[in-house]
Amino acid sequence: MTTTFDPTAFKATTRAQWEQAAEAWYRWGPAIESWLGAATEQMLDDVRLTAGSRVLDVAAGAGGQTLAAARRVGPTGHVCATDISPAILEYAAKMAADAGLDTVSTLEADGEDLSALPAGGFDAAISRVGLIYFPDQHRALTEIVRTLRPGGRLSSVVYSTPDRNGFFAQPVGIIRRIANLPAPAPGMPGPFSLGAPGVAEAAYTAAGLVDVTVTTVPSPVRMASAADCLHFEQDSFGALHQMLAGVTEEERAGAWQEIAEALEKFEDADGFTGPCEMLVVTGTKP
């Protein structure tokens, strides 16, 4: 049986999942920054932030990269963090306040509709592991590009291919099999939707960006144990819960048990090192 993808329902479910996972994503913040720190720094380097830059952060989540950008642009700059989940934006605002950064604002917004923001109002835009989950990535990209001034730059962090991301791809594969979910068709949202060679570059180019670059950043997930990584994914990865929504409690428990066993393969005497590779994709608005 072929099912028709419903982007409206997908967004509603995504919003609900992030509303539920917001506290966990905030709580796991130090682990997330350790994992994604190198890719985040590459992203911020690539958009060439300077003192006074105006930055748009799309699908900002709890705002780890928002704060990093705010520190770079200094007291004369500004970072606007947007997300579909108001609950997770509350944590982004809290993190900014706790850090003494009064140059951060938040806006509940669908990344495919940034009409509340002015055209050409930003010098740079960033998105960390967010663009991959937009049902209409082209619309999201063109909306982001609209908000950039000429010469403004967009950089996003996305996963590369499943074979380079075992810590996440293996759980996804296990759940997909147990839930009897087909592999996502090209162009559909998902963690690896922009990872194949040439896909992200083509998406950026189609949105009108030029001088597109892709930088590969090894981003292993290092934790004390596989059990810690399992807990992290159970707590924080809304996409996995979204995929499990249609299975029974027994099947769900079986899936997590199988995932636990798969993750244990990445543990040794030094702890857990989950394979992960990110791409930092950057382009310029002409």
CATH architecture for residues 7-161+187-221+277-284: 3-Layer(aba) Sandwich (3.40)
Three-state SS at 212: strand
**Would you say residue 1 has pLDDT above 90?**
no
Backbone angles phi, psi at 190, to 5 degrees: 165, 165
Three-state SS at 16: helix
Mean of per-residue pLDDT scores for the chain: 95
Residue 130 contacts residue 59 (beta carbons within 8 Å)? yes
d(CA 109, CA 114): 6
Give the β-pairing of 54-57 and 78-83.
Answer: parallel
What radius of gyration do the chain's Cα atoms show?
Answer: 18
Closest CA to 44 of 211, 286, 282: 282
Q: Which two tokens stand for residue 104?
A: 């951060």
How confident is residue 3, by pLDDT bands cut at 50, 70 and 90? low
Which tens digit of pLDDT belongs to each residue from 42-78?
999 999 999 999 999 999 999 999 999 999 999 999 9
* 110-119: b (≥16 Cβ within 10 Å) or e: bbbebeebee
Residue 108 contacts residue 86 (beta carbons within 8 Å)? yes
Closest CA to 77 of 119, 115, 124: 124
pLDDT, position 33: 97
H or E stretch including 180?
none
Neighbours of 40 (CB within 10 A): 25
**Would you say residue 178 has pLDDT above 70?**
yes
At which residue do the structure tokens 């960033």 appear?
Answer: 126
Which tens digit of pLDDT belongs to each residue from 73-105?
999 999 999 999 999 999 999 999 999 999 999
Specify the range with the lowest mean pLDDT, choosing from 4-13, 69-78, 194-203, 276-285.
4-13
Residue range 34-38: mean pLDDT, rounded: 98
Three-state SS at 225: coil
Neighbours of 160 (CB within 10 A): 22
Backbone angles phi, psi at 156, to 5 degrees: -135, 150
| Residues with Cβ within 8 Å of residue 218, at least 6 apart in sequence | 38, 276, 277
